[in-house]
Chain A
Amino acid sequence: MMRREFAREMASLDAVFEFLHRFAAKERLDPQAAYALDLAVEEFFTNIVKYGKGSAGGVLVEADRTGGTVTVRLEEETPVPFDVTRQTATQFDTPFVERKPGGLGIHIAREMLDGLTYDYVDGTSRITLTKHLEP
């Protein structure tokens, strides 16, 4: 298992990717799985940075592999639970010229992952991503 805490700022994104790529190399993840994790973690990390409520500390990222399943967790201490995985309505039925990208990243992440959960316990907000690897 690998874990590292990142400053809650957009400038951390490169370091988050570097962490994920070291994990992917260590676990020899296939490119599709590595891409899905990059995309999903980027989405939720940036949402935490943009929309986190009243939180000042860092964001802990943990990555682990058990058999054919990879799990990545993003944790933060926060006084208010705020589920950044909630999907705002994707605008597939909206005319193209009016369409906005809101909700798109969460939709793509959900489609590329095999599991996505949010929980809040004792002041800790936790997003858990799971991805099954190709046999």
Chain B
Amino acid sequence: MFSITVNDEGIVVLTGRFDASQTDSAREVLSGLRDSAVVDFRDLDYISSAGLGVLLATQQRLKKEGKAIKLTHMNRMVRDVFKIARFDLIFEIE
């Protein structure tokens, strides 16, 4: 189960498990971002390299326009995956 939504405050909220079968729905939402945004990982239990790839492409697109996504509230295991991938050097993680 995975969901990606943008709430009333413009925060992107990820829920559930972001695996290789969920990349299309994530791309659809993230490609709509035109400005810097916060992505809330509070309710995300799992992310794999497929999910990282979608976030990387989003960050690359936004950075070209001087904007960025910031990631918040990761659980420890998800944070470990970001560190192993060295994505903690690419994203601001709160």
Contacts and interface: CB of A to CB of B under 8 A. Distances in A.
A29 interface: no
B81 interface: yes
A108 B56 CA distance: 15
Interface string B33-56: 000000000000010111011001
Interface in A90-135: 92, 96-97, 99, 101, 104-105, 107-108, 111-112
Interface residues of B, number: 22
Given A43-B49, A97-B63, A108 B84 contact: yes
Interface in B28-84: 46, 48-50, 52-53, 56, 60, 63-64, 77, 80-81, 84
B20 to A, nearest CB: 5
Nearest to A32: B77
Chain B interface SS verdict (over half): helix
26 contacts: A10-B20, A10-B21, A11-B21, A32-B77, A35-B46, A35-B77, A39-B46, A42-B19, A42-B50, A43-B48, A92-B86, A96-B63, A96-B89, A97-B60, A97-B63, A99-B60, A99-B90, A101-B49, A101-B53, A104-B49, A105-B48, A105-B49, A107-B84, A107-B85, A108-B49, A108-B84
Given A13-B21, A42-B48, 8 more contacts: A10-B21, A31-B77, A35-B77, A38-B48, A39-B81, A42-B19, A46-B50, A105-B50
Interface of A: 10-11, 13-14, 17, 31-32, 35, 38-39, 42-43, 46, 92, 96-97, 99, 101, 104-105, 107-108, 111-112
